[in-house]
A and B are shown apart, each in its own frame.
Chain A
Amino acid sequence: MFKGIMEWVDERLPVTELIKSQATEYPTPKNLNYWWNFGSLALFVLIIQLVTGIFLAMHYKPDAALAFDSVEHIMRDVNWGWLLRYLHANGATAFFVMIYIHILRGMYYGSHRKPREILWWFGVIIFFALMGTAFMGYVLPWGQMSYWGAAVITNLVSALPVVGQDLVVWVWGGFAVGDPTLNRFFALHFLLPFVVFGLVILHMWALHAVHSNNPDGIDLEEKDTIPFHPYFTIKDLYGVGVFLIVFCAFVFYNPNFFLEPDNYIQADPMKTPAHIVPEWYFLPFYAVLRSIDFLGTMSKLVGVIAMGAAIAILFILPFLDRSPVRSFRYRPISRALFWIFVVDCFVLGWVGYNPADATVFGGMPIIYVGRTATAIYFSYFALLWLVTALKVEKPQPVPKSL
């Protein structure tokens, strides 16, 4: 019966053929390690965000006078509303954990190198869209952090020469962050995740056109691959299980761990909280922004440019790396640089978390740490190019096949 129906469909739309070639029998490298789980995990979290988000939107009110109370209404009165919101708020955090690991995996194993540049670019665009989505989502509960986070970030626009001031008024729809801002952010926060979903499809298309990279970073032969199903369906499912254990531990036992207490105070345009911190996933970039403070009136603009460049530099990464070998497994210098880079990102995050005028290690202004860490961040890309372009690094022998 089912077979008969499928035959009828397949004659008209080759569904079975697509599932076979792109999913069940899709050839996958047999040596993929667990770092390759994070792509499917990111997709899993995107689906959590879409489902919880749509249901939250059925109770949420995008109006400066009502938004804060409507979120409390979700928390207290709506059946299971607290679960929807905690899943969604912690889902944003989980999304960035997955994406950061996913990106670093690609950087370590050379997954951005030829022929996967377009695949990588779609990834970077998804990352940008994700940051925009999370930023606007965080504004919606209309707490003090929502409001002042939005004020500080939208004010970055005003750093642009000539048009900056007019542009930021245009973004606000008023003379400060206010009701029109909240309303448009809600519309965009609803829309962008679906744009991300579309970008994910393009990302997958680009992946399936060139196939997965692997931990050895070598081009594989037919014999080195195994069908996606059942080997990777089960492995990805196992990853989802492990993820859910950790995720649920936060959602059910410490749901406010990543949320700021100040955000449970309603937005007050007349009063800034004593210490504004962005969500953890923006901290390293926030630290880069603040580290540029030594250029007088140019500081703001250059800070904004540096912050954008810190992410946009990922676009040209595939061309910066000139080594004949993809995977850092066989590249000792690149590997060392990579780990310095990872530690540096944590240092930047810590600097971003602290007040700008904090002092550390007995009296040193933290800004010096921030400047150094910012310099190291960009040096990673410069050095990676230097050691590979000038052939300073001698890669170890690479296997011909698995």
Chain B
Amino acid sequence: MVTQQDDNRRDFLILATSAVGAVGVAGAVWPFIRSWSPSADVLAQATTEVNLSNIQEGQMITVPWQGKPVFILHRSPDQIAAAKKDDAETMRQPEKDADRVKDEKWLVVLALCTHLGCVPQPVGTGDYGGFLCPCHGSHYDTSGRIRKGPAPENLPVPHHEFKDANTLVIGKAVG
């Protein structure tokens, strides 16, 4: 005969077994989930060194950093002036030009549209003298700030340092 006490005991045992089982399954699933995260060799490509001596004023180059394109623009006085003048405009993500560059001659931005990740076109294609994203028409100015179109944020400025006058290092070494 099954008593009330037996029933309670069984309920407890079923619950305890299920709980242990669930924790076990969760633990076993973890390595599979983590196997999708960037692997050690991907993480190791943390920095890119760029020689700046060949970039003329008003010109830009696109370099890969961590598999992503980075624009390096050698800004002309006009482009610098345009960016500074627009500091006063209302913007989606207000930022001063001075806070986005380390040396006002060099604009270094991640060239991935903050809308859905397309690469914007070179400087001079957008409405504000800057970059136009061809995918859904976002316009960035000469400081890489979003001015028009669906993108929510400015082009991010990756961590970068000038090793010497002609050498730029993008990214931070990990570890």
Residues of A within 8 A of B (CB): 148, 151-152, 154-156, 158, 169-176, 178, 180, 184, 269-276, 290, 293, 296-297, 299-300, 355-357
Contacts and interface: CB of A to CB of B under 8 A. Distances in A.
Given A152-B135, A156-B116, A271-B119, A173 B36 contact: yes
Given A174-B67, A175-B67, A152 B39 contact: no
Nearest to A169: B38
Contact of A270 (B69, B115, B153): B69
Contacts of A172: 38
Contact of A169 (B37, B120, B135): B37
Nearest to B63: A270
B36 A269 contact: no
The interface residues of chain B, by DSSP majority, are classed as loop
B118 A173 contact: no
A174 B69 CA distance: 14
17 contacts: A148-B118, A151-B117, A158-B117, A173-B36, A173-B39, A173-B42, A175-B67, A176-B66, A180-B39, A269-B69, A270-B62, A273-B134, A296-B92, A299-B150, A356-B136, A356-B150, A357-B149
Contacts of B36: 170-171, 173, 184
B38 to A, nearest CB: 5
B58 interface: no
B124 interface: no
B70 to A, nearest CB: 9
B65 to A, nearest CB: 9
A272 B116 contact: no
B159 interface: no
Nearest to A154: B117
Interface residues of B, number: 30
Contacts of A299: 150, 152
A154 B117 CA distance: 9
B66 A155 contact: no
Interface of B: 33, 36-39, 42, 62, 64, 66-69, 92, 111-112, 115-120, 133-137, 149-150, 152-153
The 3 A-B pairs with the shortest beta carbon distances in the complex, nearest first, are: A357-B137, A155-B117, A356-B136
Contacts of A170: 33, 36-37
Given A173-B39, A269-B64, A355-B137, A276 B69 contact: no
A153 to B, nearest CB: 8
A176 B134 contact: no
A174 B152 contact: no
Contacts of B66: 174-176
B115 A300 contact: yes
Contacts of A175: 38, 42, 66-68
Given A151-B118, A272-B119, A176 B38 contact: no
Contacts of B136: 290, 293, 356-357
A276 B68 contact: no
B67 A276 contact: no
A148 B69 CA distance: 13
Given A152-B118, A270-B111, 20 more contacts: A148-B118, A151-B117, A154-B117, A155-B116, A155-B117, A172-B38, A174-B38, A180-B38, A269-B64, A271-B69, A272-B118, A272-B133, A274-B134, A296-B92, A297-B152, A297-B153, A300-B115, A300-B116, A300-B152, A356-B136
